[in-house]
């Protein structure tokens, strides 16, 4: 079993409590980026923490060279290092994972046109091709491509559409997604 500092133990313990997500880091580490980086790199080197793409609702640790948001999660070895059985922790955190299951596995950066598209589709009334095009500046074929490619295939969202009198075809993110 690796020898861990108090700070490393706190980071791992909090991650175990939060369905595996190590963020946010303790306040003492948030004040010093250098200290936070050293603690995280040490835990990663020992195989106790790892990076993975962040969902829409998760905090971001850093962005990779392709601008993909990454978060930090505890590994099964990290759970064992703090005396938590990985199997028991998976069952204990199943409910917490269910609450984030609706979030796509891939991430969407806030402030992007894709984030705007998702926000429009999450509205109760949804959005028509014209409304989306006006908000994003995209042509109708680009809107349809973003919906079928980025949202459905890449992010795994379920998109429903229906014809609405006076608005045309209206798209929305399906409530079950």
Against a cut of 0.85, is the pTM above it?
no
Question: Residue 97 contacts by C-beta under 8 Å, 6 or more apart in sequence?
Answer: 19
Q: Which long-range contacts (CB under 8 A, 24 or more apart) does 136-143 make?
A: 137/113, 138/113, 143/117
Residue-wise pLDDT tens digits, 128-159? 999 999 988 999 999 999 998 888 888 888 89
Residue 132 CB coordination number (10 Å): 24
**How many Å apart are CA 13 and CA 22, to the nearest integer?**
9
Going from the N-terminus, what domains does the chain have, and what CATH number goes with each? 6-100 (1.10.10), 113-173 (1.10.10.10)
Q: How confident is the model at residue 65 (pLDDT cuts 50, 70, 90)?
A: confident
Average pLDDT over residues 95-105: 43
Q: What is the mean pLDDT of the chain?
A: 81
């Amino acid at each position: 079993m690796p020898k861990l500092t108090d700070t490393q133990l706190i980071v791992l313990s909090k991650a175990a409590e939060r369905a595996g997500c190590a963020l946010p880091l303790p306040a003492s580490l948030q004040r010093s980026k250098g200290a936070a980086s050293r603690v995280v790199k040490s835990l990663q080197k020992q195989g106790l923490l790892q990076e993975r793409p962040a969902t829409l609702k998760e905090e971001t640790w850093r962005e990779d060279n392709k601008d993909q948001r990454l978060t930090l999660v505890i590994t099964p070895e990290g759970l064992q290092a703090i005396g938590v059985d990985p199997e028991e922790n998976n069952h204990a955190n199943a409910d917490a994972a269910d609450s984030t299951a609706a979030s796509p596995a891939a991430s969407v950066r806030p402030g992007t046109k894709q984030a705007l598209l998702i926000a429009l589709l999450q509205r109760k009334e949804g959005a028509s091709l014209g409304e989306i095009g006006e908000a994003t500046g995209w042509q109708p074929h680009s809107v349809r491509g973003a919906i079928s490619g980025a949202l459905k295939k890449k992010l795994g969202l379920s998109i429903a559409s229906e014809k609405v009198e006076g608005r045309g075809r209206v798209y929305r993110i399906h409530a079950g997604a």
